[in-house]
Chains A and B, each alone.
Chain A
């Protein structure tokens, strides 16, 4: 019984924390610390009481009401300060009417746009998002980003101070600001995902990023890029079990065991991606998701629809040009038209000098040279890639390629 209740509370925490914090930020007039403290307090009370009393029918309402009572209590006690007294006097201190779960306003989007306001630096946006929306503790966030807990605590403290002092509004930006502001939110979510994707120890960040993207798509159903991001992450995440072999080595896409892929998640990602693209406002996330869907829905690597991938990369290069997109386009061209055609594009990228320190430029070039039968040139570029590779797993992979087969 108790273990079951604890599991249910954990489930309610995962979705409910940010909703209660958002409601409480509004309720306290922008006091983030008090809002979090009251939300924490409500969950602590739930953990104490629910194992005996059972989980209430409307758990979110119970938690919100408990958090509000706590806030009123705290504000009353603080009312010896003149400023607080005026605030409290202006508020209705009667216990708020009991709302059902369905009546609790969902202000998670407001919270998300506030956490990701571009006047905060990116590190602050990420930290604030993990604390307020995901409900991770300062210690957990510090571990995820390999910084001392004290440093992370100060970062979150400063970010909250800036939100309050600089007058960052707690709202979903009006339409004319959305084209600037929504990408900032999506960027932070994708950054969390990528942070978790490279490291099995941080898999939680991927789950939380997907959960946040689901919130955005649910509350902003008319934003195809939000759907594109959700689809992209679902499609990547579905391949997670096959990305690393039992020895911890990276497995390339074409060599992955496709039976390990999560087919239900791939189907969901592909459906969301299609639905987004049908709105006729293709953006970088939707196109990347469409490319990921081409890979993920191929029954075997040899049946990958490379011509379509070439077209998608060309589209992506038009709306969001970058040398990395060009490099990926070259790889796709190599699969359709052969290594020589791809090498011409790779050489153009190399001449631009923009990716000279990027190991995948050299690794890709080496791979194409190998396939074109130019083994010696290939070896030179594998060695350059080896010098620049960022992790041991990648270096092992490249050393294997250098070994004569």
Chain B
């Protein structure tokens, strides 16, 4: 199964809680090596985002993210895992699970578009 792993900051995070968190480079190397991480990247902050909508055939742009939330998306990875338990295990090894939070979203299966 494929999962989108959204890597987010946590506005309630207080420094020091991530003592012993794994290193992100090690995480990438391990998950790439296992064929679990298909791709991924950091994203620029919400202040650099542009939101696009088309209404009445007109392209409307908003400066910033689509939702005003304090927690922000800092990056994403696409995972190929056997099941949710494996995806949870992979996510919990990512340093941002310690210092922020991670949302796992399953993909629609390919044949159910």
Contact = CB atoms under 8 A, between A and B. Distances in A.
Interface of A: 82-83, 117, 119, 165-169, 173, 177
A307 B83 CA distance: 50
A83 B85 contact: no
Nearest to A169: B83
B88 A119 contact: yes
B87 interface: yes
B49 interface: no
B89 to A, nearest CB: 9
Contacts of A169: 82-85
B83 A167 contact: yes
A168 B111 contact: no
Contact of B1 (A82, A119, A167, A173): A167
B112 A167 contact: no
Contacts of A166: 84, 104, 106
A16 B84 CA distance: 29
A167 B84 contact: yes
A173 B83 CA distance: 12
Nearest to A117: B84
Contacts of B82: 167, 169
B81 interface: yes
A77 to B, nearest CB: 20
Nearest to A170: B83
A168 to B, nearest CB: 5
Among all A-B residue pairs, the 9 with the closest Cβ atoms: A169-B83, A167-B1, A167-B84, A167-B83, A168-B84, A166-B84, A166-B106, A83-B111, A169-B85
Interface in B62-112: 81-85, 87-88, 104, 106, 111-112
Contact of A83 (B1, B81, B106, B112): B112
Q: Select the residue from B82, B84, B88 with max chain A CB neighbours within 10 A.
A: B84
Contacts of B88: 119
A167 B111 contact: no
A175 to B, nearest CB: 13
A25 to B, nearest CB: 15
B111 A82 contact: yes
22 contacts: A82-B111, A83-B111, A83-B112, A117-B84, A119-B84, A119-B88, A165-B106, A166-B84, A166-B104, A166-B106, A167-B1, A167-B3, A167-B81, A167-B83, A167-B84, A167-B106, A168-B83, A168-B84, A169-B83, A169-B84, A169-B85, A177-B85
A165 to B, nearest CB: 6
A120 to B, nearest CB: 10
A168 B83 CA distance: 6
Contacts of B112: 83
A206 B72 CA distance: 45
Contacts of B111: 82-83
B87 to A, nearest CB: 7
A166 B107 CA distance: 9
Nearest to A174: B85
B27 to A, nearest CB: 19
Contacts of B1: 167
Contacts of B83: 167-169
A167 B81 CA distance: 9
B105 to A, nearest CB: 9
Q: Select the residue from A82, A83, A165, A177 with max chain B CB neighbours within 10 A.
A: A165
Given A119-B84, A167-B3, A169-B82, 17 more contacts: A82-B111, A83-B111, A83-B112, A117-B84, A119-B88, A166-B84, A166-B104, A166-B106, A167-B81, A167-B82, A167-B83, A167-B84, A167-B87, A167-B106, A168-B83, A169-B83, A173-B85
